[in-house]
Structures are given as C-alpha cells and as structure tokens.
Amino acid sequence: MPNTHETPLPNTRETGPELSSVWLRVFLEVARHGSFTVAARTLGWTQSAVSRQVASLEAALDGGPLFDRLPRGVALTEAGRLLVPYAETVTGALRDARRDLGALREAAGGRLRFGAFATADAALVPHALALFRARHPRVRVVREEGFTPALLDRLTAGHLDLAVVSTTGRAPLESYELHHLLDEPLYVAVPAGHPLAGHEGPVPLGRFADADWISGSPRPEGTLLDAALRQGFSPRVAHVVGEWTAKQGYVAAGLGVTLVPALAAASVRPDITLLRVLDDGAPARAVYAATLRGRSLTPAASAFLDAVREATATIPA
C-alpha cells in the first residue's frame, strides 16, 4: 500500500491493482479445462481457492466476469477470450526468463567477455580457455588482447567481464577487484654464447648493469626494467623493440639482453638462453585476474576465473 507522505510523480500513471502471476496461470488452466474443479485438481489446489483466484483476477482487471458460470463448468466470456493471449504471453515470458536465468546460473548459457595481455595468451589463457570450453560449451566467449591499461579501461566501460592483467611496477589498479594468479619470476635472455649462459642458479640483476638492453620502451619506468631501478642501476637501453619475436632476434644477434617474464619463458628460440633472476625482495611482476570492484561476477566469469587458477598451477613457477 503506497504511503501518503510522498506525492506521486506525474509519471506514476495509474495501472490499476497489481496482478499475481498465479492468477493468470490459474486463469489459463481454468480456461483450458472449462472447470474450476478440474483446474483445481490439476493445480493441486482446492476448488474454493481457484474460485477466489478467478474472482480476484476479475476484480483486479475490472473488466467484468472472465467466465460465465454454467451449470456444468464455466465458459470464457468475451473478456476472458481477450485475456487468454495476454495471459499466455505473460506466463510464457516468465517461463523463458526462468529458463535463461537457470542457464546463466549453471553457466550453460550467456556470454563471457575477457581480455588478456600478450604473454598471458602464450600459455596461461589458452590452457584456461580449453578447460572452460570443455566445461561450459554453451557459453559464448568473446576474447580481447591488449595491454593492461587498455584492458582495465575496457573493464570499466563494461565491455569486459574479466581481464588478465599484470602489475609492471606501480599501476593504477585501484577500484578493481584483483584476484592474484601468480608472481612471475624474471629471466634475462642472453644469446647462447654469452659468458653467463652456462651459469647455474639465479643471477643477481646487477651483473647486467653494464649490458646493452633491449626493451619495448626507452625509459625503464613502468616496464619490467623497473626491477633494474630497484637494484640500483639505470639500464642502458640500446634498442627499443616492441614485438617479442623481434626482441628475440636482437638478443640472438648479440645486440643486447632483455628481461623475459616467466609466462613467455616457454616460447623462446633455442639460440637464446634464459637466466633466472635472483628474486631478492618483492616479486618483479604479479599477474591478476581483474574484475570491477563491487560487481558480482557472472557464473561464467567465475568459472573462467577458476579455470585460470587451475591453469596457473600448470605454469612452472
């Protein structure tokens, strides 16, 4: 019952008393059988209940009787005949809504939109996606590639449900829900003939303070080379190369060394040697599955997150 303290706004158009979907289902059942008693039996109720349901519906619609009460059962009036298709529309829509929501809940429908940065796509994401598709084949999957900032923007704009991102030093990762996946050890990629190529065990990054570096950016800040800054030296970037494949070519040619995150370790060419960087302190790079803070995950996104976590276990730490 509306309170009387608030003045209804003009757009509160009068729509009459509210209806219950029960009434309409009962109405259709009565219309189908032409009898309150039979409809009651079918619905598992008593005749009196059905009688009241119909009476309530008739009163709520205020369109006169929906049935003529005959000595043997009832028959639809013109008003009743008019109502039938609408009632079917309503009950049908409710049934379909339930069906779709059920599919969504079981991740047997709906969609999953996620993005990932490039090296995550090398092994982590494919593994996770394979797991997910096997478990939830009915979910439509939309995948995007991009760098962490762009992916987060897509997330904020509501175009993604989940993004696999990495922290490269300081990152504006506030207002996101971060599901930690793994901390990537760093490797230094050196040509096969490099003096340290045969070195056993982790190598302190300081050993490369004087090396020529291949990097995707002329400045180390915000990239993997942040780690060098934390080690107290400013790396000399000899060549700015963006593409991972191209970078490998530069390294193999002896033009410099570069940092490789663990996720990309499995995809280096054979004439390059990876040296594990000694991890003394905060991990160089953390990988997260990011979602919007405060927003609930779709069942599909939740299942994909599980799959990513499982896939993480298969990645060598």
CA 197/CA 158 separation, integer angstroms: 46
73 binds, among DNA, a copy of itself, none (CB under 5 to 8 A by kind): DNA
DSSP string of 108-119, one letter each residue: SSSEEEEEE-GG
Q: Please say which residue, 79 or 150, places its beta carbon nearer to a copy of itself.
A: 79
314 binds, among a copy of itself, DNA, none (CB under 5 to 8 A by kind): none
Question: Residue 134, interface with DNA (CB under 7 A)?
Answer: no
User: Which of 28, 34, 37, 45 is the binder for a copy of itself (CB under 8 A)?
Assistant: 45
The interface mask with a copy of itself, positions 246-285, x = CB under 8 A, is ----------------------------------------
CA 146/CA 169 separation, integer angstroms: 18
Question: Nearest approach, Cβ of 45 to DNA (angstroms)?
Answer: 4
DSSP string of 161-201, one letter each residue: SEEEEEEESS---TTEEEEEEEEE-EEEEEETT-TTTT--S
User: Which of 8, 13, 16, 72 is the binder for DNA (CB under 7 A)?
Assistant: 72
Question: Residue 42, interface with DNA (CB under 7 A)?
Answer: no
User: Which of 55, 59, 82, 197 is the binder for a copy of itself (CB under 8 A)?
Assistant: 82
Question: Residue 51, interface with DNA (CB under 7 A)?
Answer: yes
Question: Residue 46, interface with DNA (CB under 7 A)?
Answer: yes
Question: Residue 3, interface with a copy of itself (CB under 8 A)?
Answer: yes
How many Cα neighbours within 13 Å face the side chain of 207? 16
Question: Residue 176, interface with DNA (CB under 7 A)?
Answer: no
CA 156/CA 168 separation, integer angstroms: 20
Question: Nearest approach, Cβ of 207 to a copy of itself (angstroms)?
Answer: 49
Question: Residue 198, interface with a copy of itself (CB under 8 A)?
Answer: no
CA 24/CA 88 separation, integer angstroms: 8
63 binds, among a copy of itself, DNA, none (CB under 5 to 8 A by kind): a copy of itself
CA 136/CA 21 separation, integer angstroms: 33
Question: Residues near 34 by Cβ (< 8 Å), separated by ≥ 6?
Answer: 73, 74, 75
69, amino acid identity: R
CA 161/CA 175 separation, integer angstroms: 14
Angle of the 21-33 helix axis to the 36-43 helix axis, nearest 10: 120
Q: Residue 162: what are its φ and ψ, rounded to 5°?
A: -160, 145
Question: Nearest approach, Cβ of 177 to a copy of itself (angstroms)?
Answer: 11
| Structure token digits, residue 53 | 């349901």
CA 198/CA 136 separation, integer angstroms: 46
Question: Nearest approach, Cβ of 37 to DNA (angstroms)?
Answer: 3
How many Cα neighbours within 13 Å face the side chain of 36? 19
| Structure token digits, residue 113 | 């939109």
Question: Residue 9, interface with DNA (CB under 7 A)?
Answer: no
Question: Residue 108, interface with DNA (CB under 7 A)?
Answer: no
Residue recorded with tokens 């950016």: 217
Q: Which residues form the interface with DNA (CB under 7 A)?
A: 1-3, 5, 20, 22, 35-38, 44-49, 51-56, 69, 71-74
Q: Which residues form the interface with a copy of itself (CB under 8 A)?
A: 2-3, 6, 8-9, 11-12, 15-16, 18-22, 25, 41-46, 61-65, 68-71, 75, 77-79, 82-83, 86-87, 89-90, 93-98, 100-102, 104-105, 110, 161, 294-296, 298-299
